[in-house]
Structure formats: structure tokens, C-alpha cells
Amino acid sequence: MTRFSYTPLPVRVVFGTGTAGQVRAEVERLGRSRVLLLRRPGRAEVVEEALGPLVVGRFEDAAMHTPVEVTERALAVLRGAEADCVVAVGGGSTTGLAKALADRTGVDQVVLPTTYAGSEVTAVLGETRDGVKTTRSSPEVLPETVIYDAELSRDLPVPVVVTSAVNALAHAVEALYSPDANPVVDGLAVDAVGRLARGLRGLATADTREELLHGAWLAATCLGAVRTGLHHKLCHTLGGSFGLPHAPTHTVVLPHAMAYNAAAAPEAMRRVADALGATDAPSAVYDLIVTAGGPTSLRELGLAEADLDRAAELAVEHPYPNPAALTREGILGLLRHAWAGERPAGVSPSLDGLTAQVVSTFAGPPRLRALLTDLVPRLHAFAVDNDLTQEEWQHGIEFLTRAGQISDDKRQEFVLLSDTLGVSSVVDVLTNSRTPETTPSAVLGPFYVEGPPELAQGTDIARGLPGVPLWVDVRITSTSGAPVTGAVVDVWQSNSDGFYDVQLPDLDGPVLRGRLLSGEDGRVRFWSILPSEYPIPADGPVGEMLRATGRHPYRAPHLHFMIQAAGHQKLITQLFVSGGRYLDSDAVFGVKEDLIVDFEPRTGPAPDGREPAGDWRELTFTFRVAPLASPH
């Protein structure tokens, strides 16, 4: 039985690019009108302009680790200005100062982070007095509102981006092995690790800062919900007692703290490794830092080797929860590795090192680089996790080679492979599921042919082929319900034996496919034959895969549609025969509930006056296509 407790913290979050302009509304929502602005030079001007006359005082001297003497100076400014609200624009130092002021006065806080520190959504305050840093938790220091605007971090120097993001990564990692861990926090933490890793690997891409900011927020939410362990204790010790910079210290220490805890927290490390597409979490984090250009040694941050003994003593001075037992000797060894900048010895260091080496070679267009730097670690991890043999890998290479050799302009084995592995359906959902008010899309399939014959309304696309006659009467409308005139509608299907025309070389020209235009009422009408279930081509590598894995090759009966209309998004979809076979086990996973429709049995004259001999079927359906988004 799973048991846990989880208390979400009451912080209002406003997230999105350009949201800094809402800061005045957020202050006024709190019923406040006199703002002390804690700021750093740069994009804080945007915030001050938005606040306008609400700003009654400014303080620009926030310092790392929130020294008490700095707080006392800021407190004098707050009281002198009679401010009833603090707006903090900056990194962890500025946020920490806002919290310290709230702790002493109860003043409301609106925080706009410019880095990925994360303390803005936690009830933790860390302060330094007489060279010793202490932390405590109190609901009074929790900001009322946090505004996350990626524009505020757009000009952040890359070295600061890297260390700040790894600092956030540490929050997520320690949350996974915290004694307070629970399914909610675990989900947030894994998502955060993935987002932060993608952001660090794709620093050249335009949307990196928003990905990093999103990951940092999730990681900070984890930090606010659970207690932390060795990593955070060490970093607070090194920062508060030895003056080391906060985020760079987190960056250096994290892989070594993870290595210290790895054996005692295997499930947490597995989750981190999976999110990174690696086999060993500590060494993968180290490699991620190296690839991103972050610091790797305490020596380069200015810590003297002679200080390591004292740091180890301070780290075990007071007990705190941690997966692995805390010993002075063990922590001293950790610190020595971190001081020297050594790579943690992982399960397969040579392999993870190879992965980092490959990833570091990618340049070119940002999107291509981002895709490859995410794909390669996943491929390498697949090989390692499954202990792939040379024989197995060679078999895979030969499989792909044969798929290429059998493909031509009439048969696409790679499309079949993508379909049968469900990848085509995944991409279809990602691409086309963002407008739920439209008709669902479906996979294109391997048998679409460019430039089908243009046909008049009422044409029989079966051209006399045997089968149950089918009268199709469909409408094309916009999402508003208005008919779409002049839509180009391509249709194609198999014959009653389950073959498409491109599979039957003896047929004279295209059959069971065509292109029609919708009329003034948005309608398209034509004759065909009732679709039947059919096997996808199973005489090639994909068929071998299906047989080897005990799967059948059949597709549920369906009719393909591709609809293109000026001012509207293209729709590629299929209509499935209600009651048809294989609806629950379609070989390419293309069936969607909303696309299963009635092909109604009929007798007698058809709507166009034709009198089929015997039974026939009628398909009526309305396709709803989305209008193109207006350009900004």
C-alpha cells in the first residue's frame, strides 16, 4: 500500500513570455500600492516602468547568502519609504533578501526571477551571520506571487545560465530521494530533470530559456515540498562558511553528492538516468555540465585544499536526513573528488563519456542540434540497458537495409515500420491534436499517391470493381459550422480483396482513388465500394517483425481522406466501418473512437437516382477543419 502526505504551498504563479508587464496588476490584486523595488540592472527597467508610480523606494545591494547586515540596510529603506509590498527582480540573492524582509515585517512579496535559482516558490530562508549560513522554513517568507517571464532571462550570460540551471537540477534530484518523496513530487522532479537537460543541451535554440524556466519552476516546487539532503547541506556550508558562489558550487558538488548517495537510492538514480537518456546518473550529470561548459572543480571556485577538513566537519555537525550514512571520512572523500574536478566513477564511465563526446560534436541548425543531442543519449542508453550484442545490432542494421531496398515509389517499407511501431500515430497526435474542436486526424499510410485523378461529383471511383456499392456524401465545414467551398478532397482505399491499385500492376490506371472539389454547400459525393479489412504488405522486413512478435498484419476497414482548403489547416484522416474487424487491434494503431462511423445498409434507389442491384451502403459524415492561425 502506498502512503504519503503532500502539502502544496499557496503561491500564485503567472507563467509566460511577456508576463512581466502584469506586475502592477498583481501588486494591486494584493491590495498594495507602495512598492520597494529590489533589483539588479538590466531588464528590471521593464518591471519598474510597468509599476509606474507604485515604486516608492529602491534597493540594489542584495548579496549572496543573504548577509544579515545587508538585510538590516534594506529594512531601513523599506521602513523609510513606508512600503507595503516588495517587488524583487533578480536571482536567488534578490529573492532571499525579499524573504528576509517579509520575515521581519510581514510585507507582501511579488518575485520576478531572472535566473533558475528556485527559492521563489519555497518557504525556506537561508541567512548568513558571522560567516555561518543557517536555513529555516517558515510560511511567512513564502512570496504571494511569482511571475515567470522568459524575457527577463533572455540576456543572462551562458555561464550563469548553466550554473543556475544545474542549481535547479539539484532541487529535482534531491527531491527524488527525500524522506518526504511522494508520487506528486516524483512526477514533477522527473519532468524537471528532462526539461533542464534539454535546455542545457540546446542552449543555441530560441526556446531554450522558456524550457529552462519551466524546468526550474517545477524543480523549485519540489524543493518547497520536501526536505533536502547532503547536496544542499554541503553547498550551504561551502557558500556560507567559505564564501563560494552559490550556483557554481551547486554545479560542482551535484555529481559527487549523487555518487555518494547512488548505492543507497538506486530507484532515484535510475529515474534521473532515464530522464537524461543515460545509464549512470552521477556521471551523466557531470558530462552534461562539461558539455554545457560549466565549472567542475571547487579548486577553480577558490576553495583552498586546506579547507576541505573543516568543510567535512561542518557538514556532519548536525544530523539531517540523507539516503547514505553521513560520515566525516566519506564526505571528505567526496569533497576531495569535487575539489579536484574528477569525474564520478559510474557504472559505465567509458560509455557515458563516449555519449558526451558524440553530443559535443553536433552543430548546424539549432533544431537539428537539439533533436540529435536528445536522440543520441537515448540510443546509447537503449544499447547499454539491453546489453546489446554485436550480432543483434548487425541484425538490426540488416533489417533497416532490407527495408530500404524493398522501398520504391509504390511501396514505403519505412512508413510501414513507423506505422506498425506506433511512431506515425505518436507524431500524428503531437502534430494534429491541438485543435480538439476539429475532426480527429489519422496516419497517412504508405499507399497515398501524389496527383490522383481529378473527378466530378458523383463519379464511381471503383470503376466497376466488385464489392458492395457505397454512396459517400460528406460535408466539409469550418469549426464555426460554415461550409467550406472549393476544398480539395483526396480519397483512396483498397479493393474488396484488400489491395490498393499500386499493388496491382495489371490494373489499367488509378482506381479507388481520386480528387474532388467540395461544392457551394461544402459537400462531396461519389460512389465507391464498402471498405474491407486487409493485411498490410507482410512479405518484407516489417512482416517478419510482426510474425516474430506474434502480431497480425490486418488493418480495420476504412476509407482515407485528405482535405485541403484555402485558409484552413490540412486534415489527413480515415473513417472506419462501425462493426468492422480489427477495430481493437489495428496493425498500425490508427483507429480513433470518433472516426468509427456507420456505413448504413440501404436498399432501393440511391440519392442520385442510381438503383444498385441488391443491398448498398451509405456514408454521411461532416468533417470540421480548423482555420489557419492569424499571423502575429
- The rounded distance, in Å, linking the Cα atoms of 254 and 43 is 30
Higher model confidence: residue 526 or residue 241?
A: 526
Q: Where in the chain is the domain with CATH 1.20.1090.10?
A: 158-360
* Contact present, 346 and 261 (Cβ < 8 Å): no
pLDDT tens for each residue of 40-77: 766 678 899 999 999 999 999 898 888 999 999 999 99
- The rounded distance, in Å, linking the Cα atoms of 74 and 68 is 10
pLDDT at 5: 66
pLDDT at residue 621 tops 80: yes
Average model confidence (pLDDT) for the chain?
89
Which has the closest alpha carbon to 289: 478, 158, 124? 158
pLDDT at residue 349 tops 50: no
What angle, rounded to 10 degrees, do the helices at 208-225 and 158-176 form? 40
Q: Which CATH number is associated with domain 158-360?
A: 1.20.1090.10
Percent of the chain exceeding pLDDT 70 equals: 95
Mean pLDDT of 477-486: 95
Residue 525, beta-bridge partner list: 473
Three-state SS for 615?
coil
pLDDT at residue 356 tops 80: no
* Contact present, 443 and 422 (Cβ < 8 Å): no
Which has the closest alpha carbon to 575: 473, 460, 452? 473
Name the amino acid, one letter, at 540.
Answer: G
Element (H, E) at 132: strand 132-137
Check the CA dihedral 574-577-581-583 and report its sign: positive
Write the DSSP assignment of 347-376 as a string of letters.
SSHHHHHHHHHHHHT--SSHHHHHHHHHHH
pLDDT at 204: 57
Residue 571, beta-bridge partner list: 563
pLDDT at 346: 59
Percent of the chain exceeding pLDDT 90 equals: 59
Q: Where in the chain is the domain with CATH 3.40.50.1970?
A: 12-153
pTM here is: 0.58
Mean pLDDT of 293-321: 92
Three-state SS for 139?
helix
* Contact present, 500 and 492 (Cβ < 8 Å): yes
pLDDT-derived band at 1, boundaries 50, 70, 90: very low
In CATH terms, the superfamily for domain 423-625 is Aromatic compound dioxygenase (2.60.130.10)
Q: Give exposure, 234-252, as e/b (b: 16+ Cβ within 10 Å).
A: bbbbbbbbbebbbbbbbbb
* Contact present, 309 and 332 (Cβ < 8 Å): yes
Hunting for cell 483507429 — which residue is that?
591
- The rounded distance, in Å, linking the Cα atoms of 429 and 441 is 8
- Biggest CA–CA distance in the chain, Å, is 99
Residue 190, beta-bridge partner list: none
pLDDT tens for each residue of 136-152: 778 888 899 999 998 88
pLDDT-derived band at 169, boundaries 50, 70, 90: very high
pLDDT at 347: 45
Element (H, E) at 391: helix 390-406
Three-state SS for 138?
coil
| Helices then strands, each counted (H, E), the chain | 19, 19
Residue 534, beta-bridge partner list: 555
Q: Which CATH number is associated with domain 12-153?
A: 3.40.50.1970
Q: Where in the chain is the domain with CATH 2.60.130.10?
A: 423-625
